[in-house]
């Protein structure tokens, strides 16, 4: 007789867990920020920002979440070279993805730009994180403070690779990022 009661109790518990998970997802889902979407890159402004558009024509400016690429300041030749190199790397990543990007919005910045993780489909099932590629190349540093990116730990690991190999910004001790 006891075994007859176990099945309905287990089924009720499973159904309750599923309903609870759905309710939690609905409460935490931010309707003002879209989930992962496919976009077409139309412009690379610098080493950490891209303009993208969807097939319906809607367009947005995207700031890559969690990183800072070198910016040029008056008279700083090393910064100029690394700034150009970061932009070129981002252009190559966009081109290798045939301009088709996955944008994972995280927040909006004070200028109204979408702060997002940016990825593309790689070979096979792999996805390429643009932030990780720039960090591993030493063409960006992780951004301290501000918006916390979902893949922050992976970004920190990618930066450690660049530090160990003294790549890009890590080869020059006097170069500062914003």
Query: What tens digit of pLDDT does each residue of 11-50 get?
Result: 666 665 566 656 555 554 443 444 566 899 999 999 999 9
Q: Note the pLDDT of residue 144.
A: 79
Residues 16 and 95 grouped into a single domain: no
Q: Is residue 176 part of a domain?
A: no
**Closest by Cα among 64, 36, 50 to 142:** 64
Residue pLDDT tens, the chain, 178 long: 556 666 667 666 666 556 665 655 555 444 344 456 689 999 999 999 999 998 888 899 999 999 999 886 655 666 678 899 999 999 999 999 999 999 999 999 888 999 999 999 877 768 899 999 999 999 999 987 778 899 999 999 999 999 999 999 998 654 444 4
Q: Note the pLDDT of residue 13.
A: 63
Q: What is the CATH number of the domain that holds 153?
A: 2.40.50.90
Q: Note the pLDDT of residue 69.
A: 92
Copy the structure tokens of residue 11. Answer: 């089924």
Separation CA 147–CA 41 (nearest Å)? 23
Residues 10 and 69 grouped into a single domain: no
Q: CB of 155 within 8 A of CB of 135?
A: yes
Separation CA 145–CA 28 (nearest Å)? 22
Residues 24 and 42 grouped into a single domain: no
Separation CA 97–CA 133 (nearest Å)? 13
Q: Is residue 61 part of a domain?
A: yes
Domain span at residue 120 reads 37-171
Q: CB of 156 within 8 A of CB of 142?
A: yes
Q: CB of 51 within 8 A of CB of 62?
A: yes
């Amino acid at each position: 007789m006891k075994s007859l009661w176990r099945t309905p109790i287990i089924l009720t518990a499973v159904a309750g867990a599923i309903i609870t998970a759905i309710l939690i997802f609905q409460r935490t889902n931010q309707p003002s920020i879209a989930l992962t979407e496919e976009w077409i890159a139309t412009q690379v402004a610098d080493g950490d920002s891209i303009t993208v558009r969807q097939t319906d024509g809607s367009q947005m400016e995207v700031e890559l979440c969690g990183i800072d690429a070198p910016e040029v300041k008056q008279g700083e030749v090393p910064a100029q070279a690394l700034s150009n190199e970061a932009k070129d790397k981002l252009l190559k990543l966009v081109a290798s993805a045939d301009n088709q990007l996955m944008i994972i919005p995280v927040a909006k910045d004070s200028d109204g730009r979408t702060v997002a993780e940016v990825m593309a489909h790689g070979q096979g099932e792999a996805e390429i994180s643009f932030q990780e590629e720039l960090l591993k190349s030493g063409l960006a540093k992780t951004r301290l403070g501000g918006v916390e990116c979902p893949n922050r730990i992976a970004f920190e690991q990618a930066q450690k690779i660049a530090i160990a190999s003294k790549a890009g910004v890590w080869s020059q001790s006097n170069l500062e990022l914003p």
